[in-house]
Amino acid sequence: MIEDGIHKGITPAEYHAWEFDIEQPEKGPISNSLLKRFAKSPVAFKRSTGPKPSTALTWGSLVDCLAFTPEQIGYEFRFKSENPHLSANGAVLSKAAKEWQAENSADGVRWITETELSHAELAVANLRHEPASGEIIERAAYQVALVHTPDHGIPVKALLDAVPSHLDHADSLADLKTTSANLYNDSDLARQIGKFKYHVQAALYLHIYNKVADDYRNRWQIIWQSSAYPFEVRVTELDEDYLSKGRAYIRHHLPRFIRALKANRFQSPFRNKSTFLAMHPSAFYAEEEEMELLISLER
């Protein structure tokens, strides 16, 4: 357990060691990811174990580690080449290779290649080199854990990538997102925000920060970095519309989550009533285009 307050320089392992126990849900802690999983489906929440490992998640964690807690790299990552049972192409295919990796994967260690580490080092160097991102992360406080226990009694936790100290950003919090999205396309980035509910994270983290910190911050900046070479960077700030939507999401779903946690009851909201499904025009665009084409051919 982590005490209420602000904790600078905490390692990800220390933060994630305080886990939510589905057998004792009323003890928390609540987090951004848990709230969103519950809102998506209370029934699935009861049975899910969080995101599954993926290449994208490993890459994002590797860049995060090198950028914010480089001293932890040897604890969180190991090279795949250490496995003495790899196939000729370096893959973990045989039973012996899989067993060896499982035996050596204590404490959530992630397996990477030497090339992936080299590329991640280039990505972090670019983060620091680009003026827009560099001035945000330079001399910032990294990996800042926040814990706040509201009146409902269940603690809420958050882990910030960076709390900037630069005068132009001293009223903001910053989060690094590695992405395959097109940094030149605002709509693409907006879809990422909507899909992964980054505006909810922003609203929740700003709220918790202002509950436990001595200073006040009201801006949320996302440092987007392409996961592909040359690891281009773009910094965007969420406007008040995004933050307002995030706060509305929290106001709606958090009380539901609290009630479910305290009652240890995670039921589908659809179990008792049918719902009316309105037509969504975008779902029929392709169908309409096909009919218009056929009509044009019949003329």
Strand partners, 186: none
pLDDT attached to residue 291: 87
Q: Which of 172, 185, 154 is nearest to 21 (CA)?
A: 154
pLDDT attached to residue 299: 74
pLDDT of the chain, 299 residues: tens digit per residue: 899 999 997 888 889 889 898 888 888 899 999 999 999 999 999 887 777 878 999 999 999 999 999 999 999 999 999 899 988 888 888 999 888 988 888 777 899 999 999 999 999 999 999 999 999 999 999 999 999 999 999 999 999 999 999 999 999 999 999 999 999 999 999 999 999 999 999 999 999 999 999 999 999 999 999 999 999 999 999 999 999 999 999 999 999 999 999 999 999 999 999 999 888 877 788 888 888 888 889 87
Q: Which CATH class is domain 5-263?
A: alpha beta
Q: Where are the beta strands (DSSP E) in the chain?
A: 5-7, 77-79, 110-112, 141-148, 156-163, 172-179, 219-226, 233-237
Three-state secondary-structure class, residue 29: coil
Give the span between the Cα atoms of 140 and 161, in whole angstroms.
Answer: 9
Name the phi and psi angles at 27, rounded to 5: -90, -15
Give the span between the Cα atoms of 239 and 145, in whole angstroms.
Answer: 24
pLDDT attached to residue 266: 93
Question: Strand pairing of 110-112 and 77-79?
Answer: parallel
pLDDT attached to residue 90: 84
Reported for 251-256, long-range contacts at CB under 8 A and 24+ positions apart, including other chains, are 253/35, 253/38, 253/39, 254/30, 254/35, 256/38, 256/39, 256/42
Q: Which of 33, 44, 245 is nearest to 157 (CA)?
A: 33
Give the span between the Cα atoms of 291 and 141, in whole angstroms.
Answer: 58
Q: How far is CA 17 from CA 59, 105, 290, in A?
A: 21, 16, 54
Omega cis (within 30) before 84: no
Give the span between the Cα atoms of 229 and 204, in whole angstroms.
Answer: 32
Contact 8, 144 (CB under 8 A): yes
Structure token pair of residue 104: 């050596």
CA–CA–CA angle 65, 198, 227 (5° rounding)? 45
Give the span between the Cα atoms of 136 and 164, in whole angstroms.
Answer: 5
Domain ranges of the chain: 5-263
- The DSSP symbol for 8 reads T
